[in-house]
Structure 1
Amino acid sequence: MMDIYQEAVRYLESEHVPVVAEAEADVLEEDVFQEEAVSCLLSPLHSESIDFPESPTSRSPEEMLERRLVVLRGILESEEVYLRELEALLMPMKALWASAGTSQPVLSSRQVQTVFYQVPELRDLHQSFYSGLKARLSEHCQTESSPAEEREMSHTGFQLMVGDLFLKMVNQIGLYGGFIGNYEEAVEVVRKCMQSDPRFQALAESMMSNNNGSDKTRTKYTFEALLYRPLDRVTKTTLVLRDVLKATPAEHGDYASLQEALRLSRSFLSGVNESSQCKREVTLSHGMRRKLMRDGFVVDASEGEHSLRHLFLYTDLLLCTRYKHASRGKPDSYRFCWYLPLAGLKLRWVAEQERSQDTHHRLHAIRAKMFLLRQQLQQHKAGSRGISLAARARKKLEQMELMLLTHFPPYRLELHSPSDKSYTFLLSSLYELEEWREAIHKLTADNIETVPPDLLTLTSACVKLRMTQQPPLHSLNSVEDEQSLCGTLGVAIHSACGLQQPACVYVCVEVDGYEFYDKQAQTHSSIRSLNPHWDQELSLQVDGAHHLRVLCVSQSVGQDYTVLGKASVQLDSKTLNKRWRRQTLQLGEVEVTLSLKYCPHPLEPPSSTTQELPVFCVPIETVAHQEGVLVPHVVRCCVEEVERRGMDEVGIYRISGATSDIGALKAAFNSNLREAVTRLRSAEVNAVSGVLKLYFRELPEPLIPTEMFQRLARTLEIQDINSRLVSLLSLLQSCPDPNRHTFLYLLHHLQRVSENQDVNKMSMMNLATVFGPSLLRPPVVKLGHNGPTVDISQEVVVQVQVVFWYLQCNNLPEAQTSLQHDTDAEDETTHI
């Protein structure tokens, strides 16, 4: 061993690498590592001492392979010593952990974790490398044992492959980054505890390592000296890699692997140098320091594929990493993916396009499996075997949720930097996306210039950040209590106020809990207004829900979206019930009024259908009931759109739109209200008015019930105009609520249209002529209606005159568009 050592010393001196004298090394072994040890240790390692070697020297391949074998054996012996030192460092760990749980601990649990942070992982890393290298060298020695085969030494030397072992080790060298970042704190804990606890002082000043050999001697270390060993080792890793590579012929199969390993090791060591020398000097503009602001799991879609990533937002940059969960014998690890400086970064978020039918089927299949697993989870709560089965079911649930998280997120956040780099990541929650956008936007608004980061050091620090931050990877609720909701949650969105300028606005609601059903719902987009009204009832099936998140979103003509405000509401099954409870939420500067109700019940398996119930050719009472309103949304949305841009249109309601456009809008209203309202925004206005006329024309029963036709006809015969109007209004009160309020809503709209008759040429009589036959129909005897029939020549006259006289009423009652949801005593206003 001494011959090898002397040979190594001579070699290092020939390469102008400083070497500690043997006597000095003995002192160092028992000395302690001072505060500036990291920078002092690394400062001699300038870039020229760890550059890639030049092309192989003029030595023959045989000489190089002999040299290579000597270097590898020296590395193996050095690894053996290092492993014994790590074992000596870890020896008291189990006892200290046990003591931490007693009334008189030597170290607290947190202190034990700090002192031994990453040491077991480093031991496992080097044990794996040592075992692999020892096995390869042993096999090689057996191959070349016969003196008669010396001529084959060159051949067997080429057969000895170790590059993969070095590359595997260096790929995990980031573990040292965590150790180095934690080192000063670990040494501080050791020093403080030595001063305060004699038991620990005795332990820390006399730690033993068994020497290998027949004399069975032991080397004595201090705790601090052993903590220093990994710092010493990380610098030697780069040096020995350089030595092995210089002794490896370029045509050897190991050359490329060793070259890559040296590159990674050099890059890592450069980062450690920068971090250790400047970690207190990483100061950004405005005197700010780089620190972690937010992190979490997102789906990166930058390269066309969906990949789960762990995103870290620092004061001046975004770091995207690939997180690899700990497996048997391996620690958690992170790999660098990309980073973006925040200075000048532009953000834009959009909703994903409508999902295809195939995607809906796949989504339903996953959710159906999750529902069954959830049922199994509830059944296997009791008993030892039940605990095992429940754990298995929960693990499968988490895997299924990861599939949903990775493949079906509906929201995109696009990042565009001044250097033309662009990245896109996806999230399943608009609330979470807005939190990311707000955090990034706030930092970019400060216009902080970034200091170029050491990416390897920054990435390796993620392991420790993960220990302290613990962002959730799964949204599955680990805490199930009586207050969580399981059943149907109704959310009725009424109106909003406080907008700074007119806008097309919609409200999005989200719930947490298990993922079997859609956990989001949205209202349709309002017309451009300062005080939007929806009166739209949303229904969510929930399991394990604790929170409701509400967002108010503005949608511009160019399909750009802006979140105007958001709030989170605690859901409590004890305060919610089957009666509507009205609330006003403060979402930034916007106030949204809504009502909540909750009906607990056992959940049914998720439905495979995503299509909404049709509205055309369906009785108006049925549509109103399923929408939870008094005036169907198709009527209100068409009326609002006509009033927005059709009031000055010549011949509005008289001139029909294209049949194909009307048919497309009808199909949209029958399948997806949000899509239909979006289409209304860009449809030709006469197509919008045509959809409204078509809706009334296709009602199975007319808006004004058929049985009222005769009475209304007789009312027209009343000579006194005031008496006639009073009688008309009195008859209207006998209509069913949805019919009456929808009719009143339409009448008020048509009155406003007629006010512009000088421009649109649509007087009350013209409008009555258009709508009369659709709104009022005579009884048909053959269908079982009794009473005298009206002569067909008089039929249209009655239809037109009835609507005309209603339009002339100046005291028409106001229409109520939605049901009353505030049935509890007083409204509750929540400011969040």
Structure 2
Amino acid sequence: MELYSEALQYLTHQGLPEEEEVEDVVGSDMFPDVFSKESDWIPNSDVPRLPDTPTYRSTEDMLLKRLLVLREILISEETYLSELETLLTPMKALRASAGTSQPVLSIEQVQTVFYQLPELRDLHREFHSSLKAKLQAVDLDQDVSVQMQQNTDFQVSVGDLFLKFVSQLGFYRGFIDNYESAVQIVRRCTLSNPRFRILAESMMSTKGPDSSRTKYTFEALLYKPLDRVTKTTLVLHDLLKHTPDDHHDSTLLQEALRLSSSFLSGVNEDSQHKTAVTLSRGERRQLVRDGFVVDVYEGGRNLRHLFLYTDLLLCVKLKGGTVGKPVHYRFCWYMPLAGIKMHWAVEQETSAELQLKISNMRAKMFHCRRDFQEYLSKGSLSRAADRCRRKLEACELWLLTHSPSFILELQSTNSKSHTIHLPSLYELEEWREAINKLKAEGLETVPPDLLSLANSCVKLRMTQQPPLCCLQPDNVGNSMCGSLCVVVHSACGLQQPASIYVCIEVDGFEIFDRKAKTCLSSYSLTPHWDQELVLKVDGARHLRLLCLSQSEEDIMGKATLKLDPVDMLKKWKKMTLNLGLIEVTISIKYNPHPLDPPSFTPLQQKPVFCVLIGDVASQEGVLVPHIVRSCVEEVERRGMEEEGIYRISGASSAIQALKHAFDTNYWEAMSKLRSVDVNVVSGTLKLYLRELPETLIPTDHFQSLSKALDLSDPYLRAGIMLSELQSFPDVNRNTLLFLLHHLKRVAKKEEQNKMSLSNLATVFGPSLLRPPVSSLNHCGPPVDISQEVEVQVQVINLYLQNQNLPEALTTKTLDIEEET
């Protein structure tokens, strides 16, 4: 429940009442337990300021609390001993294999990896057994309050045990100095040795029944002692806080605390005497950027605060903020910028179970948002309104951490890696740009005092709260609620031909999808899309636009547009946005309307083959389906001089594979399109047209077009055929015009490709026009197969020969107010 607890801390930090609950909104199953992020740093003696000793009603109350603390320490010791035993389990076998012909580790490596671990186990084993013996007078299985009523003596003396324990912390000094070497051996052998990798990735705790065993990695277990020694001072603080001043343990525990703090201080002094705050070229470390990210660790997702300094990345988590607890940051991990490598990708499709949870959470958020707006409209500032707002915040925070997002993988030169998720590609690119800029400056990395650096983040931070829309002022006049329609027209400014696409993002509440992207353009210097993207928005104020290449790694430019609902309310507003070297022309329009609750729709691409062409165009937001445009553009790129293009078919298996890709994964289809034989591309286009449930030329126009062929006056015949063409549905008419103009360009290369207008008409006629079944029996004389083919070929041939064919529109005509 760590994520849930952190959510409450963030929300409470905003000044909301602590006693309000949000469990009824999200349910406990919506906040799975996650591991806290573990770090690999040299411990620091500085300890966050702890609260003063609390006031108790009686000495018995303090002793009762003290006993509970001792009980927790004993349980913690048992867990830690189990982890040490698990870590030491393979030592004997690895040492034995070191003397064989096929060793897993050399004897020197075994000694380095397990250095001082047996001594640490013995130290804690003795401490645990002694503490358990001290507590034998108290029945740990019986309720403590019951024992209080039975006048059980809780004057347990443990100060001598702790004093003896901390006096032997020197064993940890050797472990700390050796830790980095041990970790390097483990990581190197995990990558290179399959047998060691199997061991290192699945070490099971031997404590408890099989159902309660815990799975660890070797490196995670190796970190446990490092983490344990840093908590010694905190444990002693906690115990002293609940120990009366006149207790015989008080003086002993204070001395133990002094020794523990002195030990950790000595470790840090040795680690810091080599470092300085000043970086290379005399510059001092400065904070450049910070923000909230989702940090992924051992399968769990944790909301973290990421700080970018001039020489390193620092990831921390917020602690405190509740009543009586000051806000501070706890260190998670850090990574030097020198040599850091970054790779980003779109998160893979989520499971059906998580999709359903996300859908349910969005529905809860929708209704909570409406309830809160109703409270605001009534001017109500009641506890119920406050509770509703907290529910809204909890829902949005959960969606922020669990919705599909963009992944940024970070890897350092020593092979350490961390994975963070960001909800916005625009924000991810801002992080990448900032890191790359600092890398280019080549500043020397100074090993930091991590605890001090993490504590200083509270004052240095520029971003105070998570990027939740519900935490911002609710100004209805400046935000949008309804449908935001964006038509992406074209781009210019490319330095070389490329296949690119445009991604748009909006802010606002996470109730509906806030991201959309165009299809891939053709391989061109001046790509065109004319594709309409529609987003349902609630609370949107900004639109962000990014241009990306097909490689999914090259973000070519980005821009931000502040949305003005009044300016784009009545008509489409056309504009050209500057994305650096690239300019993208878009049209945008806002349609305000009440929103319906979000519905669950599985993330699955709809097929395009054997589907009405109007339905395909509608779901793509275009007038000419992308499969037609992409195939035509690819043929024009590399098939215009191919002999027999559209007459010679490609391999049937390759055509079927490309068909399947268009039906299931458009991005895969576009990748295949660039590499398959061009006759496979032309064959796929013909197959698409042939398998349309209704032909591109509607069947109810067959008879009128057939009669037009009998007219002797060519001008009258051409006029009637153009009139029939204008009466086709928009998608059919524009797709046919797009195809006809393409075929005319193919015919201009007849000398090379041997494809004349009549040849092309023969190839495409039967696919583009068929008589309706009813016409064979009811609407005219029967048409035999030879007459049918003759009509099909002649109609297409006459259209191809027409010099007055209008140009095709790939998007609907927009009522544009202005162009800037």
TM-score over 0.5 (shorter chain) = yes
Q: Does 1:694 align with 2:687?
A: yes
8 Å contact 2:166–2:259 — kept in the other structure? no
* 1:599 is the counterpart of 2:591: yes
Q: Which moved more, 1:569-578 or 1:374-383?
A: 374-383
Distance 1:156 1:283, change over 3 A: closer
Taking the aligned partners of 1:783 and 1:386, their CA distance within structure 2 comes to 73
Matched residue, 1:474: 468
Rg larger in structure: 1
AA aligned opposite 2:350: R
The CA deviation at 1:665 is 5.2
Equivalence map 1:30-429=2 (5 Å): 122=49, 124-125=51-52, 135=63, 157-158=157-158, 263-267=263-267, 282-301=277-296, 303-381=298-376, 387-429=382-424
CA contact (8 A) 1:585 1:592 kept: yes
Secondary structure of 1:479's counterpart equals coil
User: Structure 2: which amino acid aligns with 1:697?
Assistant: R
Are residues 1:520 and 2:515 paired?
A: yes
Do the aligned partners of 1:317 and 1:340 also contact (CA within 8 Å) in 2? yes
Match of 2:575 in 1: 583
Cα distance change on mapping 1:128 and 1:536 into 2, 3 Å: farther
Whether the 8 Å contact between 2:344 and 2:408 is mirrored in structure 1 is: yes
Paired position in structure 2 for 1:541: 536
Partners of 1:550 and 1:567 within 8 A in 2: yes
Kindly provide the CA deviation profile for residues 70-90 of structure 1, in whole angstroms up to 9, marking residues without a partner as x.
xxxxxxxxxxxxxxxxxxxxx
2:745 is the counterpart of 1:752: yes
Q: Secondary structure at the match of 1:306?
A: strand
* Identity within the alignment, %: 54
Change (3 A) 1:705 1:134: closer
**Corresponding letter in the other structure for 2:322:** S
Unaligned runs of 5+ in 1: 1-120, 145-154, 168-236
State the 1:526 CA deviation: 1.0
Q: Which piece of structure 1 moves more, 681-690 or 812-821?
A: 681-690
Q: SS where residue 380 of structure 1 aligns?
A: helix
1:707-765 deviations in Å (ceiling 9; x for gaps): 43334334445668787666654553443433222111111222333445566554444
Shift of 1:404: 2.0
Residues in 2 aligned to 1:166 and 1:596: alpha-carbon distance in whole angstroms: 68
Q: Aligned partners of 1:425 and 1:767: how far apart in 2?
A: 54
Supply the distance in 2 between the matched residues of 1:137 and 1:370 (Cα, whole angstroms).
41
**Contact map agreement 1:136 1:162 (CA 8 A) in 2:** no
Deviations 1:184-230 (A, max 9, x none): xxxxxxxxxxxxxxxxxxxxxxxxxxxxxxxxxxxxxxxxxxxxxxx
Distance 1:647 1:258, change over 3 A: farther
What is the deviation of 1:635? 1.6
AA of the residue aligned to 1:563? I
CA distance in 1, matches of 2:163, 2:649: 78
Maintained 8 Å contact 2:646/2:682: yes
Offset, 1:465: 2.3
- By how many angstroms is 1:775 displaced? 0.5
Instruction: Report the equivalent of 1:184.
Output: none
User: 2:162 touches 2:256 (CA, 8 Å); kept in 1?
Assistant: no
Matches within 5 A, 1:428-467: 428-466=423-461
Q: Distance in 1 between matches of 2:619 and 2:404?
A: 28
Q: Is the 8 A contact 1:490 1:539 kept in 2?
A: yes
Write the mapping of 1:601-680 to structure 2, written as runs, cut at 5 A.
Answer: 601-610=593-602, 611=604, 615-647=608-640, 651-656=644-649, 666=659, 669=662, 677=670, 680=673
Displacement, 1:776?
1.0
CA contact (8 A) 1:507 1:550 kept: yes
Three-state SS of the structure 1 residue aligned to 2:816 is coil
Deviation at 1:421, TM superposition (A): 2.6
Residues 715, 282 of structure 1: alpha-carbon distance in 2 compared, 3 angstrom cutoff: same
- Stretch deviating more after TM superposition (721-730 or 502-511): 721-730
| CA RMSD, Structure 1 to Structure 2 (Å) | 4.3
Quickly say closer, same or farther: Cα 1:770–1:668, change in 2 above 3 A: same
Counterpart of 2:4 in structure 1 is none
Cα gap change, 1:400/1:641 in structure 2, threshold over 3 Å: closer, same or farther? farther
Q: Which of 539, 557, 565 matches 2:557?
A: 565
Give the residue type in structure 2 aligned to 1:505: I
**Separation (CA, whole Å) in 1 of partners of 2:366 and 2:565:** 22
1:720-759 mapped onto 2 (5 Å cutoff)? 728-729=721-722, 731-756=724-749
Which deviations, in whole Å up to 9, do the C-alpha atoms of 1:285-318 show, x marking residues without a partner? 2332210000111122365432222111001111
In the alignment, which residue of structure 2 is the partner of 1:98? none
Whether the aligned pair in 1 keeps the contact of 2:166 and 2:256 (CA below 8 Å) is no
User: How far 1:405 sits from its partner (Å)?
Assistant: 2.1
Residue 671 of structure 1: CA displacement?
Answer: 6.4
Q: Distance in 2 between matches of 1:647 and 1:713?
A: 31
Name the CA shift for 1:125/1:762 in 2 (closer, same or farther; >3 Å): farther
Query: What letter matches 1:405 in structure 2?
Result: L
Tell me, yes or no, if the aligned pair for 1:497 and 1:592 is still in contact at 8 Å. yes
Deviations 1:642-701 (A, max 9, x none): 333444555543455566665665566556655654564566655543442233223343
Rounded to whole Å, the distance in 1 between the matches of 2:354 and 2:659 is 24
Question: 2:698 maps to which residue?
Answer: 705
Preserved contact between residue 349 and residue 404 of structure 2 (Cα < 8 Å): no
* In 1: Cα distance, 2:564 partner to 2:388 partner: 27
- Range moving further from structure 2, 535-544 or 372-381: 372-381
- Cα distance in 2 between the residues matched to 1:588 and 1:157: 71
One-letter amino acid matched to 1:546? R
Alpha-carbon contact 2:469-2:508 (below 8 Å) kept: yes
Distance 1:137 1:488 in 2: 58
Deviation at 1:632, TM superposition (A): 2.2
TM-score (norm 1): 0.65
Distance in 2 (CA, whole Å) between partners of 1:412 and 1:437 is 12
User: Cα deviations across residues 356-396 of structure 1 (Å, max 9, x unaligned)?
Assistant: 43332222122112112212222333779863122222222
Cα 1:612–1:132 change in 2 (3 A) is: farther
Give the one of 818, 822, 829 matched to 2:811: 818
The letter of the residue matching 1:634 is I
Q: Which moved more, 1:752-761 or 1:638-647?
A: 752-761
Gaps of 5+ in 2: 1-47, 71-133, 136-154, 168-232, 241-247
Q: Distance in 1 between matches of 2:765 and 2:561?
A: 47
Query: Contact 2:469–2:539 at 8 Å: present in 1 too?
Result: no
In 1, Cα distance between equivalents of 2:573 and 2:592: 16
Q: Which amino acid aligns with 1:354?
A: E
Given candidates 765, 768, 771, the residue that maps to 1:775 is 768
Aligned CA distance change for structure 1 residues 320 and 768 (closer, same or farther; 3 Å) = same
Aligned length: 610
Cα distance between partner residues in 2 of 1:623 and 1:787 = 33
